[in-house]
Chain A
Amino acid sequence: MKKNLGDKIFKGIALFSSLFVILLVFFLFVELLIYSFPSIKKFGIYFFIDKIWDPVTERYGALPAIYGTIVTSILALLIAFPLSIGIAIFISELAPPALKRPLSFIIELLGAIPSLIYGMWGLFSLAPLVQLKIGPFLQRILGFLPFFQGYPLGVGYLTAGIVLSVMIIPTISSLSREILMAVPIDQREAGYALGMTKWEVIWKIVLGNARSGIFAAGILGLGRALGEAVAVTMVIGNFPNISVSLFSPGVTITSVIINEFAEAAGQLKISVLMELALVLFLITFLIMGLARYYILKRIEGR
């Protein structure tokens, strides 16, 4: 009798903890939805296509923020994805076995650095470099492209994209590394037996086998970049703007929430910021969910 009671209570606590996680995500969504209701009601679909942000006339459009978030995140993925795959290949296929763990630790430490530190590095070290060296250099060789028009200010989409790319390298590379290392050794040996070079084995067999997993790792990195807040806020320039040029300053969903929240007066503005958070929630949940579903299924489906 006593034994049963103990078991019941303990199981109850465990069950409660699990339900807590599920209800937490549920209420996150519901509360954000309730709070963004005034904004949804007032602006409707125009919220997503209006680029004016004017607290005086209470007209709020989210387009520059959504645009900035997507541009910086895609840029980050474009830079980080090939680098991360290279790192994963290096650690999984080339590094001596005894060095694999310390080498991957070096990259994982990049993921342990707080985003605030990335922000300071981006603002005080990278931004001047983008303004004086990287920007003019890109302009000289690629200046004919619309992405590299205008005068580089230092802060802007490009700097934010670079900072984000470094931040998501550990996410993509450590997951890719695990997926590469899970490819069976005899598949590689079969390739060598056919007279393939090391690179051909890596490219055609290992990467071919791990393709879908690496894709999911990239999506996960993208998700992280979309939701990054403080580092981006420090280097994006905070100017509500939609510009093709990567040199221009802009805003992102997270930077608008952080900057406008401090001076948010009135229910409508709070509601607008909540709707932005809701949009971010939905985008990242969808992206993360897809990637995680894919990875969970792959790891456990075997």
Chain B
Amino acid sequence: MSYKKRKIVNKLMLTISVFTFLIGAFFLFWILGDVFLKGARYINWRMFIEVPKPPGVPGGGIGNALVGTFILTILASIIGVPIGIMVGVYVNEYGRGKLAWWTKFLTEVLTSFPTIIIGVFVYIILVVPMKSFSALAGGIALGIIMLPIIAKSADEAIKMVPISLREAAYALGIPKWKTILRVVIPSASGGIITGIMIGIARVMGETAPLLFTSLNNVYWSVSLTKPIGSLTVTIFNYATSPYDDWRNMAYASAFILVLLVLFLNIIARLYAGKRRK
């Protein structure tokens, strides 16, 4: 190829590369803009304190769904956060052999595993024996989804803690477990907290596993053994309904969901960026 031709190919390919990025960014703004434009105008204060109404009946809201999502997220965190952190501790501080390798490998696989399978699994082990869909089942499903996310970020954060910090603690005669609890985990807390925020954002947006576990509830409910409403399942039902006012409600609720998820992600990113400095 002549020099001139090579230069043209160079320019062309680099321009294409810039364009691919613009296409990606375009999709982000299109999808977000879609939700914001179609959702913002149907937002009203009453929707935060009301429960869903039948189609055609004015008003109605997602108050119960917000409470449900909150409860489900708390349940998921109770399961996902401590176990996730301890997995990170194990693979860094204790595990050397095959078990640590398998844990790491399966954690990686679980991170991007289809969440619908987790939902079906919890349906088998919990909903069938209890003979009822329940908030508990939903929380456990979301907890299983959250676990690998926390484990991965804990693993990465703990790996960064300098060995000298541990040695300093050992030199003072502090036992290993106290060193981990008081020195290693606090030093890694930045990365772990970022992971928790990302994990919470992720499970808040999950729909498929909840369809098999917590199902839905159009009334106020805080019982762990009964089905519970959630933001995502409510939006799913509204959006796939044939009624216009329900679809509008779906967009208004989706607007709130997207705000929550984006907020958590941006805060997590800013927090991680600040710590890096």
Question: Which segment of A106-114, A134-142, A146-154, A242-250 sits at the interface?
Answer: A106-114
What is the 8 Å Cβ interface bit string for chain B, positions 24-45, against chain A (1 contact, 0 not)?
1101101110110010000000
Tell me the B206-235 residues at the A interface (CB within 8 Å). 206-208, 211-212, 232, 235
A117 CB-CB contact with B under 8 Å: yes
Q: Which of A16, A82, A228, A295 contacts B20 (CB 8 A)?
A: A82
Which residues on the B side are within 8 Å of A273 (C-beta)?
Answer: 120
B164 CB-CB contact with A under 8 Å: no
Chain A, residue nearest B104 (CB): A296
A251 CB-CB contact with B under 8 Å: no
**Contact assessment for A229 and B239 in the assembled complex, using a CB-CB cutoff below 8 Å:** no
B83 CB-CB contact with A under 8 Å: yes
Tell me the B168-205 residues at the A interface (CB within 8 Å). 175-178, 180-181, 198, 201-202, 204-205
Q: Which of B86, B202, B232 contacts A14 (CB 8 A)?
A: B86
Which residues on the B side are within 8 Å of A118 (C-beta)?
Answer: 31
**Contact assessment for B240 and A110 in the assembled complex, using a CB-CB cutoff below 8 Å:** no
Q: Which of B10, B106, B177 contacts A10 (CB 8 A)?
A: B177
What is the CA–CA distance of A115 and B235 in the complex, to the nearest angstrom?
A: 12
Determine how close the nearest CB of chain B comes to the CB of A255; give it in whole angstroms: 10
Which residues on the A side are within 8 Å of B269 (C-beta)?
Answer: 105
**Contact assessment for B257 and A117 in the assembled complex, using a CB-CB cutoff below 8 Å:** yes
What is the CA–CA distance of A173 and B204 in the complex, to the nearest angstrom?
A: 24
Give the interface residue-count category, chain A.
35 or more
What is the CA–CA distance of A295 and B116 in the complex, to the nearest angstrom?
A: 25
**Contact assessment for B207 and A28 in the assembled complex, using a CB-CB cutoff below 8 Å:** no
**Contact assessment for A226 and B114 in the assembled complex, using a CB-CB cutoff below 8 Å:** yes
Q: Which of B89, B114, B198, B250 contacts A284 (CB 8 A)?
A: B114
**Contact assessment for A199 and B9 in the assembled complex, using a CB-CB cutoff below 8 Å:** yes
A18 CB-CB contact with B under 8 Å: yes
**Contact assessment for B90 and A110 in the assembled complex, using a CB-CB cutoff below 8 Å:** no
Give the interface residue-count category, chain B.
35 or more
B163 CB-CB contact with A under 8 Å: no
B48 CB-CB contact with A under 8 Å: no
Chain B, residue nearest A2 (CB): B175
**Contact assessment for B24 and A83 in the assembled complex, using a CB-CB cutoff below 8 Å:** yes
What is the 8 Å Cβ interface bit string for chain B, positions 231-260, against chain A (1 contact, 0 not)?
010011001100000010011001001100
A74 CB-CB contact with B under 8 Å: no
Chain A, residue nearest B35 (CB): A117
B148 CB-CB contact with A under 8 Å: yes
B100 CB-CB contact with A under 8 Å: yes
Determine how close the nearest CB of chain A comes to the CB of B196; give it in whole angstroms: 15
What is the CA–CA distance of A7 and B24 in the complex, to the nearest angstrom?
A: 49
What is the CA–CA distance of A10 and B151 in the complex, to the nearest angstrom?
A: 17
A181 CB-CB contact with B under 8 Å: no
B167 CB-CB contact with A under 8 Å: no
A107 in contact with B24 given A7-B175, A14-B86, A116-B205 (CB within 8 Å): yes
Q: Which of B16, B83, B206 contacts A86 (CB 8 A)?
A: B16
22 chain-A/chain-B pairs, Cβ below 8 angstroms: A15-B94, A17-B90, A18-B90, A18-B100, A32-B117, A90-B20, A110-B27, A112-B265, A116-B205, A120-B34, A120-B251, A166-B31, A197-B7, A199-B14, A228-B114, A254-B208, A257-B120, A258-B116, A273-B120, A277-B117, A280-B114, A281-B114
Kindly list 17 other residue pairs between chains A and B, CB separation below 8 angstroms, not including A113-B261, A115-B205, A227-B112: A7-B175, A7-B177, A10-B180, A14-B86, A14-B89, A21-B106, A25-B106, A27-B121, A32-B121, A90-B18, A90-B21, A109-B265, A112-B265, A113-B258, A116-B239, A227-B114, A280-B116
